[in-house]
Structure 1
Amino acid sequence: MSELLELHQLVDSDAESHQIRRSKMHELMHSCYSCSFLGILLATLSSFFFSLCSVIVKELVDINPVELASFRFIGVLLPSIPILVYKQEDVFPSGKRTILLLRCFVGTTGLILSFYAFRHMPLADASVIIFSTPVFVAIFANLFLKEPCGLFNAFTILLTLFGVVLITRPSMIFGDTMSGFTDELFIDDEHDNMWGAVAAIASTLFGANAYVTLRALKGIHYSVIMSNFGAFGILYTVIVCWFMNVLCMPYCNSDRWMVVALGAFSFLGQILLTISLQLEEAGPVAIARSADIVFAFFWQTLFFKEIPNGYSIVGAIIVTTSVILTGLKRWSQTLPRESMMRKRLRYILLEVWI
């Protein structure tokens, strides 16, 4: 989902010009953070609100996922406007416009595909597949940015693919008797499940490319990227809805309130994620956001009465482990070389052998 695509940018962008400000912020928050891990807590709360967004997308079956995405983009745009005005940043900086538009396109397409996957797959299975986005960044970063892709990256990618196979269980591997994503009592439409899985995987690939474009936009303030992303996403989704003839207001009051809640939860999730990344490194925040998967399993069982089977649970554990390892890897790279924690992580991350 789009909230994961801001992880590196929010930490790495404009580092030199904001180094003094960030150090002062850390000093002010150090006493509170060291006691309560405020950044991790806010990242977890961000996952909570974003998981509620996916519940609303799955629940509002009478509203097209593309139209729902437009309300999600409103939640992205709103928090970025006051920051953009306060910072007096150039809204559409020259020299970066092409890559900025590319980032908006891949990010918007990835989010729309994720909404389609939430609608046509069990909530937890779709969340797990989409959550694996950071693992695949290494592939496209190597192709387009010539960044190294070592054995550790290959290991986590293969581990993630294995977990995704367990979740989707393609019939060519497991046979027709293993089709479906949950216990057979809860299978409604195998055809929808298949295309939902395709959308989830495609969303992951688009999301990984959005990460790469964010790295190429290093130095651009995150409010510029988020405001362009939100504005582009609203325009994109409205045009698509108009061509599909699905552009309409929700029919009943309950649906309208849920649409309002979608925008509000998106707003809260984005703000909490932004603040958490200002208080904590990207690696630990990415690990904390694995709570999204836990919430997804809980909501799926509570609201939709879909009980995940053993394959889905094992696949989710494998994918989550891979994402956590990736987050630990990034965190270890930010630690001083003489740090004892970095030395311990060398063994956990298999850096001695890989």
Structure 2
Amino acid sequence: MPEHLELQQLVGGVLQGSVRHQSLFPWSQCSCPYLGIILATISSLFFSLCSVIVKGLVDINPIELATFRFIGVLLPSIPIAIYKEESFFPKGKRIILVLRCFVGTTGLMLSFYAFRHMPLADASVIIFSTPVFVAIFARLFLRESCGMFNVLTIFLTLIGVVLITRPPFLFGYGVHNVADEQVVSNYDVWGPVAALSSTLFGANAYVLLRALKGLHFSVIMTNFGAFALIYTLIVCYYLGALCWPLCGSDRLLVIALALFSFGGQILLTLALQYEQAGPVAVARSADIVFAFIWQIMFFEETPSVYSILGALLVVSSVVLSALRKWALALPRDSELRKKLFFLVLD
């Protein structure tokens, strides 16, 4: 889950320089040319199912669900870090590690809140737009260039987000939904606020990951999982939400949430071993398609025309950004780069 983005941000920023040369899974050798794309799509399926579980378990606080998800991140990471003989809290990177853990955890908790208080597809689209906003914070904190292409994608994304959230001061308080013939008179502002805040925190997590690109991904995941587990437990205690799910089916879904999180992460890791980050990011846009399907199938919520148009704008911006990153990584004399010349222009 683009949530859910935290894990894909982590692997996308780190594995490009390390895992390609030192595979975490030496047994995973296959000649299938589209295997990376297939694995990334299945990873999207798993992450989208995590979103469904978060929205569906209405009797469990979303912050408590985040706690279970972080357990699924932490437990597999510890043995990997031990096997690689990595330092769990390396000197010189500790402050950045803590900051990355804080913004990543806060962003994920906000995304879970958004899933609970917004239509599933709308929340997924907004949170999925995180990579587009990275250019802003990379410009502010890393002094990276932010050309007209970035400005265009950010502008398209903002229009898409406005269409999805439909703020009352622009669309009025009595918005008529043609898709399901309902009149929305009560506008829940906190769901969109949480989704947008999650996007901004996630974009900063991307920037911090760039400063940690020399670390093995298991070290970042271990710190992230441990910090997030403590952080969410404290928040749950403050909210009075520290309790084990009472219903048997709820307990199974909580376990499934952790398993889907772990499975999605592993598949995303493998996908980035077989394919470059750009095409994998494009394949990850399948998360949005799954979100629309689950919204209709499980929650019987038909998306409005505004939501569909907004989703198309956001997904187009993300896909264009991913293709640009891929094109820039190609050799200058590459025929494919010449065909994609419009993506590499500033």
Report the TM-score range of the alignment, normalised by the length of the smaller protein. Answer: over 0.9
Q: Which runs of 5+ in 1 are unaligned?
A: none
- How far 1:340 moved relative to its partner? 1.0
Percent of counterpart pairs with the same letter? 62
- How far 1:282 moved relative to its partner? 1.1
Tell me the equivalent position of 2:250: 255
Which amino acid is the alignment partner of residue 22 of structure 2?
A: R
Q: Deviations over 1:256-309 (max 9, x none)?
A: 111111111111111111111122111111100000000000000000000001
- Pair 1:82 & 2:83 matched: no
Q: How does 1:166-185 map to 2 (within 5 A)?
A: 166-178=163-175, 183=180, 185=182
- Pair 1:135 & 2:132 matched: yes
- How far 1:218 moved relative to its partner? 1.6
Quick check: 273-282 or 307-316, which moved more? 273-282
- For 1:11 and 1:167, the matched residues in 2 are separated by 27
Alignment check: 8 A CA contact 2:176 2:183 kept: no
User: In 2 relative to 1, CA 148–5 (structure 1 residues): closer, same or farther, beyond 3 Å?
Assistant: farther
Which amino acid is the alignment partner of residue 13 of structure 1?
A: V
- Pair 1:306 & 2:306 matched: no
Alignment check: 8 A CA contact 1:66 1:241 kept: yes
In the superposition, the TM-score normalised over structure 2's length comes to: 0.93
- For 2:292 and 2:10, the matched residues in 1 are separated by 29
Which amino acid is the alignment partner of residue 104 of structure 1?
A: C
Tell me the equivalent position of 1:216: 211
Tell me the equivalent position of 1:33: 32
Alignment check: 8 A CA contact 1:9 1:218 kept: no
- For 1:94 and 1:181, the matched residues in 2 are separated by 57
Q: RMSD between aligned alpha carbons?
A: 2.2
- How far 1:18 moved relative to its partner? 5.9
Higher helix fraction: Structure 1 or Structure 2? 1
User: In 2 relative to 1, CA 11–299 (structure 1 residues): closer, same or farther, beyond 3 Å?
Assistant: closer
- Pair 1:196 & 2:195 matched: no
Which amino acid is the alignment partner of residue 143 of structure 2?
A: K
TM superposition outliers: structure 1 runs of 4+ over 4 Å: 6-9, 14-20, 179-182
- How far 1:210 moved relative to its partner? 0.3
- How far 1:147 moved relative to its partner? 0.8
User: In 2 relative to 1, CA 232–296 (structure 1 residues): closer, same or farther, beyond 3 Å?
Assistant: same
Counting matched residue pairs gives 344
In the superposition, the TM-score normalised over structure 1's length comes to: 0.91
User: In 2 relative to 1, CA 186–79 (structure 1 residues): closer, same or farther, beyond 3 Å?
Assistant: farther
User: In 2 relative to 1, CA 241–128 (structure 1 residues): closer, same or farther, beyond 3 Å?
Assistant: same
SS at match of 1:95: coil
Q: Which runs of 5+ in 2 are unaligned?
A: none
SS at match of 2:301: coil
- For 1:16 and 1:67, the matched residues in 2 are separated by 35
Alignment check: 8 A CA contact 2:7 2:265 kept: no
- Pair 1:164 & 2:165 matched: no
- For 1:178 and 1:165, the matched residues in 2 are separated by 14
